[in-house]
Amino acid sequence: MTSYAGSDIAHIQVEFLDGGASSLGTVDVADADNSTWTLNAVSGLIPTGSATARVSLYGIAGSGGPDGYLDNVSFSVSEIPEPTSMVLAGLGLVGASFGFLRRRSE
């Protein structure tokens, strides 16, 4: 993200929508240092019930026209295991560790 004149701001907004296209929440990323190319990243949880995400890229004018620039924009979603699966996997590792330690001590 950067600006041509240094006073305009590049901006990204991600809006999460449910199945009926109602907004469940938004995430905004604006360039804090608009005098040079800056890498900006945000991560977080997607609101429960989200069916789609609307990504908007635009410039906000500080003076004159909106000369905010964006390049190499990426939006990705990663699946997180359910808590139940994580607990079961953890219990399996603990059980295997105890079995290994018990076998070594015999």
pTM of this prediction?
Answer: 0.64
Token digits of residue 45? 């949880």
The predicted-structure confidence for 84-101, as pLDDT tens digits, reads as follows 555 556 655 555 444 444
Q: Where are the domains of the chain?
A: 2-80
Query: Can you give the pLDDT of all 106 residues of the chain as single tens digits?
Result: 776 666 777 888 899 999 999 999 999 888 777 777 878 788 888 898 999 999 988 877 777 766 677 777 888 888 766 655 555 566 555 554 444 444 444 5
Cα 84 to Cα 90: distance, rounded to the nearest angstrom? 10
Q: Which residue has the tokens 């041509």?
A: 4
Q: Are 88 and 36 in contact (CB under 8 A)?
A: no
Cα 12 to Cα 30: distance, rounded to the nearest angstrom? 6
